Amino acid sequence: MVSPSLSPSDLTEGLGVAVAQFAPGTDKAANLATITRLAERAASRGASIVVFPEYSSFFSDPFGEGFLENAEPLDGAFVSALRSLAGRLQIHIVAGMIETTLKGERFSNAVVAVSPSGQLAASYRKLHLYDAFGSRESDFVEPGAIEAPETFTVGPFTVGLQTCYDIRFPEVSRRLVDAGADLVLVPAEWVRGVLKEHHWRTLVTARSLENTIYVAAADHTPPIGVGASLVVDPMGVTIASLAENEDVAVAWIDRGRLDEVRRVNPALALRRFGTREL
């Protein structure tokens, strides 16, 4: 990780990627105020991308109460606010949200990426719903359709999106890599529990190692989430991380580092199985 004493102008190459963690609640205006404060902090530290958690627009415990009433379309107030913020700060912002569906009986667990030009760069809807560890996300959420992954470009990196429980399914990340992604962003609400923080760190690291990619994963802070947001490099090294508190951590990722790792460990080139679109 680059010393805080260095500014972006001191670097000959590299891209600042920030993970921002907080605990979204039922006050949508307060959630946006927190996102704004943390995005400003990330930008001031040199980040070009800042990743916020799953359900950043609205979250309640117990899960499900009030979600449908607070869902929004992608051209609604929440995304509009993110677009304005990204334009003002001249960074990419990635965040989870609850999205309205055509049927209206359930909502989508969506992730949006907005660009410095204020445009929607990509969107994603969670494929694997959290029907595990005593939870039933599918009672409320419409699973995303299996489609060609949406990616976007920031500097020399192609960026892909996935969400929380998806990280337990290695084919999700591998499909993104097959679509050209070499940086994967993972908004999450990783619920606390026995060994859950160990699972979180292990799975994020595994997805980085097996694909020789950078992964940046942002979680909710306690009492519901584990916190522990992190950025991992293609050799499985954590290059930025947070504890349990609300904050921002910035890592500098390097195209040369990625290319060198893939030269030394050509796992993608040597594999004998690929992914296919369904």
Render pLDDT for 222-250 as a digit per residue (tens, 0 to 9). Answer: 999 999 999 999 999 999 999 999 999 99
Considering the chain, what is the average pLDDT of its residues? 94
pLDDT given at position 13: 60
Render pLDDT for 105-120 as a digit per residue (tens, 0 to 9). Answer: 899 999 999 999 999 9
Closest Cα to residue 178, out of 145, 143, 210, 217?
Answer: 210
Q: Which residues have CB under 8 Å from 102's CB, separation 6+?
A: none
Angle at Cα 133 formed by Cα 127 and Cα 134, nearest 5°?
100
CATH number corresponding to 15-268 = 3.60.110.10
Mean pLDDT of the region 210-227? 98
pLDDT given at position 103: 84
Phi, psi of 104 (to 5 degrees): 80, 0
Q: Tally DSSP H helices, then E strands, for the chain.
A: 6, 13
Instruction: Flag the least confident range among 31-35, 101-105, 168-172.
Output: 101-105
pLDDT given at position 6: 32
Q: Which helix (H) or strand (E) holds 261?
A: helix 255-264
Domain boundaries, the chain: 15-268
Distance separating alpha carbons of residues 278 and 275, to the nearest angstrom: 9
Catalytic residues: 54, 126, 164
Q: What is the pTM of this model?
A: 0.94
